[in-house]
Structure 1
């Protein structure tokens, strides 16, 4: 929610992630929502340039047009409404409400990050690349984001196939292994 139009490089088709919305303590010791000019825990991994697909570029152009037509503006922030910059809590509440309205499992904005990470991994994107994309400092954090949401049957099939391809396992399954031509009776 801290993205600004200046963060998008339209020619290079990328977006610069380098600030975030957070809760910070004001002069009276109260927490308030504010934009921080850094990412999570001031992590160097958080400051990154992410590629944008044509689909994403088009979405940003639609948001820009909607903002202009509706007169929404708050400095250079991308996501705003008549009240100004949109806060993450508002977006999160909207996502949850739309899930309930659609009759699907309720998700949060953060759940969407997990879904993206999981789908990237299923498409064989390397863990290190997903880690970079999410802005994580370490691989262990990224691994907690990757869920198996492909279903029990597909997972079971993959496990059985992997086990049968292991050294010698196909012999035990009753098929010949090119590395070990012994039949099951030979054991």
Structure 2
């Protein structure tokens, strides 16, 4: 019969433990157990040295072998190692990069670490960080006080705070799975509430035509005009338009296929799985793209549709916004609009035309239907709604007034 004898001394999280197991004949063997990557590992260490014997392992020798095995476990912290926030952040971003995360995601994580998380926690060990410590960081962010003696900034919005603390939450969860800490202090934190922003800025169809006609920036005139019209009538994101290639324009099927995105100077996959999609190509868009194709010297399948006329490469996003606002001023429109408002234009116009929200979600590449629902207020009301309300309050019996004996007609 096998007997298990638990080790008496209690150990801190992640350092593992020894126990002895005896077989039917009474021979005893050291075993070790520890946690890493969120799972428990058990390994045979070796025979236990009996009293007065030179064979087998003493407790000290078994402890040393246990430490060696733990240290060789992929992803495990060394026994006794206390990772600082800086080192944990470095390992976490390396893990994200190895996992194939998008450059935009890596840039956001590195920004949160560099601007807030690492300066605030400095060289503190992550296994010593408590919920109240994270709450202090949130207070600084709300006040616009940068940690580590950095210059002040304006108070951060609830959404920005939640994004930064979300990075910390993901990092601490990763550290917990790795056995670097025993708890995640972010889980019990109350974060600022984000008030939904229902304000959507968009252009009317006549304004879209006006801004397209006002694209008069010399060399960029033809590409900008086609860009504005296509953005407003397909709902593609700016990065998706920049990455669009001629092979993605299906003239026969009358559709534009979204296969790539351009973010932070790199081509990659679209924002989410749903963002890989195809969108109907209206005749107006097809006409603009046809004119642009005939005027362009870059007509290969892999050439960019909206290629920079001077370089043949992708358009610069900052320059797109400058020229877009210049066109707005020429058209005597509000130059506070941003390029993304053309995407909102597509969403609001499609909703107003009665396109079902599920269909609009597919066309716009929204991962969550809740994002698409922001356009629901622009959808036309069914003609029979008023009749439904009237019918609900219609009664075959007269309504009795408060005065006794008086019946309302």
The TM-score normalised by the length of structure 2 is: 0.34
Deviation at 1:105, TM superposition (A): 1.9
1:97 aligns with 2:326: yes
Q: 1:123-176, CA deviations, whole angstroms, 9 ceiling, x for partnerless residues?
A: 1111111111110011111123x28679xxxx9xx7xx956741557x6xxxxx
Q: Aligned to 2:267, which of 24, 32, 35?
A: 35
Q: How many residues align?
A: 155
The equivalent residue for 2:368 is: 138
1:3 aligns with 2:244: yes
* Structure of higher CA gyration radius: 2
Q: Aligned to 1:87, which of 297, 316, 319?
A: 316
Is the alpha carbon distance of 1:98 and 1:118 closer, same or farther for their aligned partners in structure 2, counting shifts above 3 Å?
Answer: same
Deviation at 1:59, TM superposition (A): 1.1
Deviation at 1:18, TM superposition (A): 1.3
Alignment of 1:105-144 (within 5 A): 105-106=334-335, 107-144=337-374
The whole-number CA distance in structure 2 between the counterparts of 1:142 and 1:108 is 19
Is the alpha carbon distance of 1:182 and 1:67 closer, same or farther for their aligned partners in structure 2, counting shifts above 3 Å?
Answer: farther
The equivalent residue for 1:30 is: none
The equivalent residue for 2:259 is: 18
Q: 1:44-85, CA deviations, whole angstroms, 9 ceiling, x for partnerless residues?
A: 1010111212221111111112223xx799x61011211323
Deviation at 1:112, TM superposition (A): 0.8
The whole-number CA distance in structure 2 between the counterparts of 1:168 and 1:11 is 49
Is the alpha carbon distance of 1:132 and 1:72 closer, same or farther for their aligned partners in structure 2, counting shifts above 3 Å?
Answer: closer
CA contact (8 A) 1:114 1:147 kept: no
The equivalent residue for 1:174 is: none
CA contact (8 A) 1:21 1:88 kept: no
The worse-fitting range, judged by mean Cα deviation, of 104-113 and 89-98 is 89-98
Is the alpha carbon distance of 1:98 and 1:165 closer, same or farther for their aligned partners in structure 2, counting shifts above 3 Å?
Answer: same
The TM-score normalised by the length of structure 1 is: 0.70
Give the structure, 1 or 2, with the largest relative contact order (CA under 8 Å, sep 6 or more): 1
2:340 match: secondary structure = helix
The equivalent residue for 1:78 is: 305
The whole-number CA distance in structure 2 between the counterparts of 1:50 and 1:104 is 28
Structure 1: which 5+ runs fail to align? 24-32, 172-176
Instruction: Calculate the aligned-residue CA RMSD, in Å.
Output: 3.0
Q: 1:97-143, CA deviations, whole angstroms, 9 ceiling, x for partnerless residues?
A: 11122221232221111111011111111111111111001111112
1:49 match: secondary structure = strand
Structure 2: which 5+ runs fail to align? 1-241, 400-406
1:166 aligns with 2:395: no
The equivalent residue for 1:27 is: none
Deviation at 1:88, TM superposition (A): 3.2
The whole-number CA distance in structure 2 between the counterparts of 1:90 and 1:65 is 24
Q: Aligned to 2:274, which of 45, 57, 64?
A: 45
